[in-house]
A and B are shown apart, each in its own frame.
Chain A
Amino acid sequence: MSDFPIPVKPKSRLRIALDSDLFYTFKRSPVAMVSAAVVLVLVLSAVFAPLIAPTNPFNPASLNLMNGFTPPMTPNAFTGESFFMGTDDQGRDVFSTILYGMRISLFVGVAAVFFAMVLGITLGLISGYVGGWTETIIMRTADVQLTFPSILVAMLIFGIAKGVTPVEYRDQMAIWVLILAIGLSDWVQFARVVRGATLVEKNKEYVQAARLIGRTPTAIMLRHILPNVLSPVLVIATISLALAIIAEATLSFLGVGAPPTQPSLGTLIRIGQGFLFSGEWWILLFPAITLLALALSVNLLGDWLRDALNPRLR
């Protein structure tokens, strides 16, 4: 068997891009570089929030309500304390709350996209490769999924999770439910892309050859087909990350977001929009700008990545 001539597997598109052009185009794109820098700074400050943030806004015992509504860089009338970005209605330092909130937003976003990606790739590979009834079931499920707007899916999962989780775990639950909800509403596009690519790759010579030498379907899917669909998956993942962070904010508006004692950026914006007309602009403005900077940079990176990984567009 071993002397059977196996055609050389072509290098994957991603590999080629990484080896040669991707970094080169990155260096030549100021937008991509600035975006990457912004994302890097934001991610790092979120990860190291406990070291950077002056206070821990998630510890209710440390809050002094009398510090509430302190404007940025102005001493509070009662306590005399001063805050870089002011405080919110609970007397929380807005700057610290943003750092901690961004952690939650990023965690929810990344975890949701990862979950969606794993689920989507798996189901996409299986339905593309196996076909038949399996494919029908998976792709019809995808239709059901698309039928339910993501907001509704999230509300549904939130409600059910609330009903089935033991009472003492409910407050930690909110975050995981958000991840599940956003992830579940996002897997379809991964599945569709992967399935499409799988259908194409499956009939190519190298896959048929691999099959002939007795490779298992799992091995073929993972080792041969998957690498070839990674670049569109990467693009979708990047853009999905921005979407997931925004989706979390939207859900928060509908009352199914992160709990107010451990707010995400979205929850902060939801709380802050109540102060738009009352003059406490900082409670809305700073979280909104942070969210905008984060989502916009991720989107711009995704955009650049899409063009960069599509050599035909260069």
Chain B
Amino acid sequence: MKRSIHLAAFLAALAPFAQAEEFKWAVTTDPQTMDPHAVNSAPVLGFLNNVYEGLVRRGKDMSVEPALATSWEPIGNGEGWRFNLREGVTFHDGSEFTAEDVLFSYQRASDEVSDTRSWFAPVSDVVMVDDYTVDFMTTAPNPIFPGSIANWMIMDSGWAEANNTTLPDKENGNYASLNTNGTGAFRVTSREPGLRTVLEPFENWWGEAEHNITRAELTPIQNPATALAALLSGDVDFINPVPIQDVARLNENSDIDVIQGIEARVIMLGFPHEADTLKYSSETNDANPFADVRVRQAVAHAINVPAILQTIMRGNAEPVSQLVSPAMQGYVSELEARPEYNPDRARELLAEAGYSDGFSFGLKCPNNRYLNDEAVCQAITGMLAQVGVTATLDAMPVQNYWPELRADNYDMYLLGWSPGTFDAEHPIRFLAATPNEEKRVGSWNFGGYSNARVDELLPMIQSEIDAASRQAMIDETTKILQDEMAYVPMYVQPLVWGTRSNIELTQRPDNFFILRWVTVN
């Protein structure tokens, strides 16, 4: 009896939502926390971009546009940046947004325990000028600073203090890892980690709503085949990513739209520049052939990138010649030519280097990190074998992969790199600079590639204000890296999203899914 009353009340409560524009979407990985400063990872930041906002944000074409700051300008001769804040903005809990929240969020996000603190490495001081003006002083001129903090999200200082979450806690979690209070267009109304997260539009949002969603639900689905089945059967409206092999079939399906774009992530091969010997060779135990630039060039010529893109990527990826994709700032279009596929040239180069009989080595590869990573490595193994260099492929889940690379257990490895700043400086800093803990550079340069000129150019690129001279330095660095074949960049990973055809949305190259650009028809 009692239950039927409840049921009636429940149905009555549902009635107003009968015309609700509900939107369900599935991703592979659930955002592991709701704390915008705890983990600097794409699933977390991408999701929280719908809930929290930064001073600036990126638009549909990745351009930097005003968000919580309405305008910004350099201070003096590159001493820092001044941000003028938007007035009349409220957080989801109703409290007002002021400069104090900016200062608090800076302290929170730049603390030692925060994963986002590297964004603030160039910052020497933050000054609250008045309630709606904040100055960021930098140690050196920093032309790209506003864009580099587009994912830095502002949290309400009062809310954080009241809930005892003034610092993120990666280890034990705290209030902010499960609850949110942003200024964004959507607020989280229910959060069940690993199961579902429900969002509803924030009625007091300062911006003009472009979407017509009344309720949105995020579910993680791990198995790609299951996710695709969910999209095909209409159980979800959107999935990311769509397995690349299914694109052609889905394009024929009138219920489904496939949205493709170029991601920022460049897939490349890395070498053990510093090693004295190969680790996994059956015969070459006293030398490291990859230390010879000719061998690295031979590798580049031996790999038939167009064939990989044609078959494994099904024509959905673009070849690339440098560490950033053409969509990034600082891409050098004059150097866009890749080493051509030429197995004869590869054999010649190997012979010149003294390896006319080839050699054997170990190729390390993740099998759940990048699109079709294992299949790509398999194909590379075959192509290298055809010029006499035989690789033993060891493909493993990514949780085992990084420790292996850190322990230098590889002769060659596959790596994908997506620059968080959308600028060519980023991969130079992380992949090309000689590893140096103190200067915080080269932290992903596993092979220990080192070039004095590149190390010299990096700080200059970082502080050059003049766009033309900055680009000239990036050009020079890119040329060095290409000539020395420090890495073999192969292709830019595609973005493949799938939606039901009654959904309209916008795909951003950073693979962030922005809910406020979604329309349900």
A193 → B minimal CB distance (Å): 37
C-alpha spacing A304/B475, complex, angstroms: 75
Does any Cβ of A come within 8 Å of B464's Cβ?
Answer: no
**Considering residues B279, B378, B386, B409, which has the most beta carbons from chain A within 10 angstroms of its beta carbon?**
B378
Is chain B's interface secondary structure helix, strand, loop, or mixed overall? helix
Contact B312 A89, beta carbon cutoff 8 Å: yes
Residues of B within 8 A of A168 (CB): 279-282, 362
Assess whether A277 is in contact with B225, with CB atoms less than 8 Å apart. yes
User: Which of B39-47, B69-77, B185-193, B240-248 is the contact stretch?
Assistant: B240-248
* Chain A interface extent, by class: 20 to 34
Q: In the complex, what residues of A have CB within 8 A of residue B229's CB? A: 277
Complex: how many Å from CA A84 to CA B76? 73
Please tell me which one of the listed residues A90, A259, A274, A277 contacts residue B395 in the complex, with CB atoms under 8 A apart: A259
Q: Is A311 an interface residue (CB 8 A)?
A: no
Contacts of B198 in A (CB 8 A): none
User: Which residues of B are found within 8 Å of A89, using beta-carbon distances?
Assistant: 245, 311-312, 375
- Among A65, A278, A280, max chain B CB count under 10 A is at A65
B392 in complex: contacting residue of A91, A171, A277, CB < 8 Å = A171
Chain B positions 384 through 412: 1 when the CB is less than 8 Å from some CB of chain A, otherwise 0: 01100010111101001000000001000
Chain A 259-297 interface 0/1 with B at a Cβ cutoff of 8 Å (1 = within): 111000000000001111111100000000000000000
Known contacts A65-B304, A65-B307, A65-B382; decide if A259 and B248 are in contact (CB<8 Å). Answer: no
Kindly state whether residue B383 has any CB partner on chain A within 8 Å: yes
B139 within 8 A of A: no
B310 interface hit (Cβ, 8 Å): yes
B439: interface (CB < 8 Å):
no
B383 to chain A, nearest CB (A): 7
Which residue in A255, A261, A274 is a CB contact (below 8 Å) of B243? A274
Cβ of A213 under 8 Å from chain B: no
- Is A69 located at the chain interface by the 8 A CB criterion? yes
Tell me the minimal C-beta distance from B228 to chain A in angstroms.
5
| A68 & B362 in contact (Cβ 8 Å cutoff) | no
Q: How large is the interface on B (under 10, 10 to 19, 20 to 34, 35 or more residues)?
A: 35 or more
Cβ of A1 within 8 Å of any chain B Cβ, yes or no, is no
Q: How far is the CA of A85 from the CA of B304 in the complex (A)?
A: 26
Cα distance A91–B378 in the bound complex, in angstroms: 11
Interface: B381 (CB within 8 A)? yes
A52 to B459, CA, bound (A): 62
Among residues of A, the one whose C-beta sits closest to the C-beta of B285 is A168
Q: How far is the CB of A74 from chain B (nearest CB, A)?
A: 16
Contacts of B382 in A (CB 8 A): 60-61, 63, 65, 90
Rounded to whole angstroms, the CA-CA distance of A142 and B229 in the bound complex is 41
A90 — which chain B residues lie within 8 A by C-beta?
Answer: 375, 378-379, 382
A31 at the interface (CB under 8 A from B): no
Q: Are B394 and A273 in contact (CB under 8 A)?
A: no
B245 lies within 8 A of A280 (CB): yes
Given A60-B378, A168-B282, A274-B225, 19 more pairs with CB closer than 8 A = A60-B381, A61-B385, A65-B304, A65-B311, A65-B382, A65-B383, A89-B311, A91-B311, A162-B400, A168-B280, A168-B362, A171-B394, A255-B397, A259-B393, A276-B225, A277-B225, A277-B228, A277-B249, A279-B249
- Complex A-B, nearest 8 residue pairs according to Cβ-Cβ distance, in ascending order: A61-B385, A68-B311, A60-B382, A278-B245, A278-B246, A63-B382, A60-B385, A65-B307
A-B contact pairs, 8 of them (CB 8 A): A61-B382, A65-B307, A89-B245, A89-B375, A90-B382, A255-B368, A259-B393, A277-B228
Q: Residues on A close to B: CB < 8 A? A: 59-61, 63, 65-66, 68-69, 89-91, 162, 167-168, 170-171, 255, 259-261, 273-280
